[in-house]
Each structure stands twice: as structure tokens, then as C-alpha cells.
Amino acid sequence: MATYRSVFDAAELRAQLNDAGINTKFMASIWKYVLQNPGCELDEIPDLPSSAYRLLRTKFKPFTSTVHSVFHSTDGVTTKLLIKLQNGAFVEAVIMTYDTRLGKYGGKPRLGGPRSTLCISSQVGCKMGCKFCATGTMGFKNNLTSGEIVEQLVHASLLTNIRNVVFMGMGEPLNNYTALVEAIRVMTGSPFQLSPKRITVSTVGIIHAINKLYSDLPGLNLAVSLHAPVQEICCQIMPSARAFPLEKLMTALQTYQKNSQQKIFIEYIMLDGMNDEEQHAHRLGKLLETFQVVVNLIPFNPIGSSSQFRTSSDQKVSDFQKILRGTYNIRTTVRKQMGQDISGACGQLVVNLPDKRTRENTSLLTDIEDLRI
């Protein structure tokens, strides 16, 4: 059986068009037509050179993935898509709805209204093995192609208007670097036209990739999973820290910030008794005091009764936040827990089939990706 490539796989489409002597300017119009006509056949796209139709028909498909299931959380603001890939594997993408009016800008209420952020997967499984993360329990299966990454945005866009994209789903994005860069370049070009400022790439700290990220993708947001302020604790909860020591990671982040002149998001998962004491807050504050950062404290989301970690109390999270804000003047937010009942919350993405839920409570939330930084 022939394996087709996604029409959104930019490098493959560009190479095939070039080989056939067809102008690559048609790529954007091909994508636009498929976006507007998701059930179409590629033969239906108007105004292409005649030689393009045979090429598209024999090498490409409008979609190589399908939405297998859609789950709505009872929080009314979270929707999880279970997406089946061409090879039979599954990945998950999560849509989160927020309200820009709940934020403030310059001390004044902001204009706007509800809009959506899409959390995208970059791999099937993950090889990083973080102890608190469900995806890590799957092990690593395979990288997604750039087309499969972009298709998640297309599938989600058919349900709602996507304003922000965060690479915080399954997998370590910087371990699939070439496909990641290519997918983001498609997302920021025609017809998607997402601003790089609306795209956030989250990493456990793949140093060699961080070192080239700014030159390849200037302007996007970088988020770093820095879940402990000392190397010893990092290694206990994130095995990858042995390969990417904290000291070397901080040096790479200093260089990245010097080049990008942008604030860096720091993600810090709160694990009871492990990394959530006042001493940890002070050590984290000292580690970050020379940086321009926004720290996002993430309450641990359980991944089953066998989990070795417990969620920090609200009081501990609040105390931790006060130390970073008050003593070190570091902007610190607490991530709102969303989508736990459909296993769509941070750290819970692992392919399974939760019970279908109905939408009830429809309160809207502010979004860290919408912070003015």
C-alpha cells in the first residue's frame, strides 16, 4: 500500500514541485483551498498547472490524519482531540478557551473576548521519561512529520478559531527539531498567518537545539520546564537533566535571551515535599534573578493511583509565588487546572479513551500565553 505524504508537509511538497518544474508559489493556494474545503480531493483545487494534479494525486493527500474522537471537559473550556495518524498511532491535541477580557493591560481592563489556544503534540510518546508526566510512561514511538504537526492545527481550526499555539502536548519538540521548525514556518506563513509571538515552544532544555532556535525561528516564545532549582532534584524527577546539566542549560538560556531580547517562560511543576518548600523558592529566585522571565507554577496533575508524587497544597503554591514575586520581583503566575476529567491537563497526555463528557460549567479563564511580556 502506497504511503502518501500530507499536503501540509512543506519540504516534501516543495521538493516535488521543484522536481516537476512547477512554481512553488502554488503551495499557499493549495493549503488555502484544503483549509476552506476540508473534505475535498486534491483534483478539485482550481487554477493549478495541469502537471500539478497528477503529482498531487499520486504523492499527497489533503490529510494523512483523522480526528478519531473529540472529548469535551465538564469545565466547558477544554476540548481534547484524539488524532489517528497514517501509521495507525494516535496523538492528542487540546483546545483551551480563554477570555482576554479577564486580563489587564497597563492596569486597565483589556478589550477582546473568548479565543482559543491549541496545545500541539510533536511526537508519539516521548523519550525524556519525566517521572511526573503520563506521556513519558509511553516511551518513545516516533516523530511526527511536519505535515502531521500542521494537521493538528487544521483539525482544531475546523472546530474554533485558533489564536495561539503551544507545543506542550506529547513529546519533546526540540527532539523533532527539523519537523518543528518546518511546521512553525508553515503556521506563520500564508494562509495560516499566525504571529510568531502567538507560538510557544516548550522544552525540558535540549541545549544544542536551544542554541540554534533563535536564528531558525526568531520571535517565538520559549518555555523551559525547569522543575527544580538544583541539579540533584532535577535528576530525580527529570532523567534528561543528566544529559543537560542545569548550569549548562542556564548558560544556553542567557545566550538565547541576549540574542532574542525576549522574556522566557519558566514552567515549574509543584510536587509536594519534593520541590515546593520555601528554600526551593529562594534557590529558584537566585537562579533566575539575572534573567527576564515569567514563572508559571503548575499544580501537579495526578496520572493514576500509582503516581509517586502528590499535589502541593494551595497554601504552598501561594507561599512559593509570594517569595518569587516579593523577594525577587519575578513575575509569577499559577496555571489554572483545566481538562483533568478528560486527561487533557498538563502532564496527563497519554493515548487512552476517556468517557465522553458533556459541557457544563462555561467559566472563561485568562491564559499565560496571552500575557503581555
Question: Looking at residue 248, what is its pLDDT?
Answer: 96
pLDDT tens column, 158-212: 999 999 999 999 999 999 999 999 999 999 999 999 999 999 999 999 999 999 9
Q: Which of 286, 296, 294 is nearest to 246 (CA)?
A: 286
Q: How confident is the model at residue 274 (pLDDT cuts 50, 70, 90)?
A: very high
Q: List Cα–Cα distances, 63 to 120, 159, 323, in angstroms.
A: 16, 16, 49
- State the average pLDDT over residues 256-264: 97
Spatial neighbors of 311 by CB under 8 A, at least 6 apart, are 270, 272, 299, 300, 301, 302
Neighbours of 321 (CB within 10 A): 18
- State the average pLDDT over residues 262-276: 96
Q: Which of 349, 271, 267 is nearest to 310 (CA)?
A: 271
Residue in the block written with cell 516534501: 12
Query: How large a percentage of the chain has pLDDT more than 70?
Result: 84
Question: Looking at residue 240, what is its pLDDT?
Answer: 86
The beta strands (E) that lie in 58-209 are given as: 60-61, 66-72, 78-84, 90-99, 104-105, 108-109, 114-119, 123-125, 140-143, 162-167, 199-203
Does the pLDDT value for residue 358 go beyond 50? no
- State the average pLDDT over residues 36-64: 96
Question: Looking at residue 114, what is its pLDDT?
Answer: 76
Give yes or no for a contact between 49 and 25, defined as CB atoms under 8 angstroms apart. no
Range in 7-16, 93-102, 259-268, 282-291 the model is least confident about: 93-102
Q: How confident is the model at residue 364 (pLDDT cuts 50, 70, 90)?
A: very low
Q: How confident is the model at residue 305 (pLDDT cuts 50, 70, 90)?
A: low
How far the first Cα of the chain sits from its last, in Å, is 50
pLDDT tens column, 308-345: 889 999 999 999 999 999 999 999 999 876 545 545 44
196-337 adopts what CATH topology? TIM Barrel (3.20.20)
User: 114 in helix, strand or coil?
Assistant: strand
Global pTM? Answer: 0.88
CA 105-111-115 angle, to 5 degrees, is 105
Question: Looking at residue 101, what is its pLDDT?
Answer: 61
- Between residues 106 and 319, which one has the greater pLDDT? 319
Question: Looking at residue 138, what is its pLDDT?
Answer: 81
pLDDT tens column, 200-246: 999 999 999 999 999 999 999 999 999 999 999 999 998 888 889 99
Distance CA 4, CA 112 (A): 41
Question: Looking at residue 338, what is its pLDDT?
Answer: 54
Q: How confident is the model at residue 133 (pLDDT cuts 50, 70, 90)?
A: confident
Give yes or no for a contact between 334 and 325, defined as CB atoms under 8 angstroms apart. no
- Between residues 1 and 367, which one has the greater pLDDT? 1
β-sheet bridge partners, residue 173: none
- State the average pLDDT over residues 55-67: 97
* Active-site residue flag, 346: yes
Which residue in the list 130, 133, 234, 346 is annotated as catalytic?
A: 346
Q: Which three cell numbers stand for residue 52?
A: 500539478
Give yes or no for a contact between 156 and 93, defined as CB atoms under 8 angstroms apart. yes
Question: Looking at residue 369, what is its pLDDT?
Answer: 37
What are the residue boundaries of the structural domains of the chain, listed by start? 5-61, 196-337
Which residue in the list 12, 92, 151, 369 is annotated as catalytic?
A: 92
Range in 30-44, 87-101, 139-153 the model is least confident about: 87-101
For 26-64, letters b (16+ CB in 10 Å) and e give bbeebbebbbeeeeeebeebeebeeebeebbeebbbbbb
Distance CA 284, CA 329 (A): 12
- State the average pLDDT over residues 129-154: 90
* Active-site residue flag, 182: no
Q: How confident is the model at residue 247 (pLDDT cuts 50, 70, 90)?
A: very high
